[in-house]
């Protein structure tokens, strides 16, 4: 078993990639084990969590890449109208569901209570499967608690509000 402490950056990107498929819950942990698609066993003792696409080991013949598995999610299109966005934010936020904000839609864990709440207020959604990265904002790389004034969703809401007056 190979022991991994962090992702690596020094590898030949032309080498074939061998996936280590992992769900997001395991990726959030510091201590775990996994087996790559070729049967190689890995133990992980991490200082910081890994993420989808990270290379954790390489040799002369291959590089081993973390591949986050898809999971059931609800895909909720973003309506450019401020009132619709506010209702969507209230419904999802009031239930304390984690989200991933993409430029044109939100992703949330597929949950019967969330489905019911969205249906009750008439917000359309689509059940699908996707790699889910909660708390990721479209176009925002670094995590911060500073205001996200220039986020595309915030700009769209401000624009819509300005044009409706």
62: CATH: 2.60.260.20
Q: What average pLDDT score do residues 14-24 get?
A: 97
Among 7, 130, 131, 5, CA closest to 64: 7
pLDDT of residue 158: 62
Task: Tell me the pLDDT tens digit for each residue of 93-114.
Answer: 888 888 998 888 999 999 999 9
Instruction: Order across the sheet with 31-35: list the strands.
Output: 2-4, 41-45, 31-35
- pTM, full prediction: 0.74
> DSSP state, 137?
B
Which of 68, 85, 111 is a domain's end point? 68
Q: What is the rounded average pLDDT for all residues in the chain?
A: 86
* Count: domains in the chain: 2
pLDDT at 125 > cutoff 90: yes
pLDDT band at 150 (very low <50, low <70, confident <90, very high): low
Same domain, 57 and 99: no
Residues 157 and 115: their CA atoms lie apart, in Å, by: 24
Model confidence pLDDT, tens digit, residues 76-90: 998 888 788 788 888
Residue 17 tokens read as: 């990639």
Tell me: do 61 and 87 sit in the same domain: no
Residue that is last in its domain, among 10, 36, 68: 68
């Amino acid at each position: 078993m190979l022991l991994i402490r962090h992702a690596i950056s020094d590898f030949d990107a032309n080498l074939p990639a061998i996936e280590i498929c992992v769900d997001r819950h395991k990726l959030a942990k510091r201590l775990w084990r996994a087996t790559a698609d070729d049967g190689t066993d890995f133990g992980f003792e991490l200082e910081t969590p890994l993420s989808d696409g990270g290379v954790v080991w390489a040799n002369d013949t291959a590089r081993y890449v973390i591949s986050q598995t898809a999971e059931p999610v609800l895909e909720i299109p973003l309506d450019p109208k401020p009132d619709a966005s506010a209702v969507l934010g209230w419904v999802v936020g009031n239930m304390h569901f984690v989200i991933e904000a993409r430029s044109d839609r939100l992703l949330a864990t597929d949950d019967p209570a969330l489905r019911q709440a969205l249906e009750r207020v008439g917000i359309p959604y689509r059940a699908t499967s996707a790699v889910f990265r909660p708390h990721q904002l479209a176009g925002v790389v670094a995590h911060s608690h500073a205001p996200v004034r220039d986020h595309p969703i915030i700009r769209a809401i401000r624009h819509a509000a300005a044009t409706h007056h």
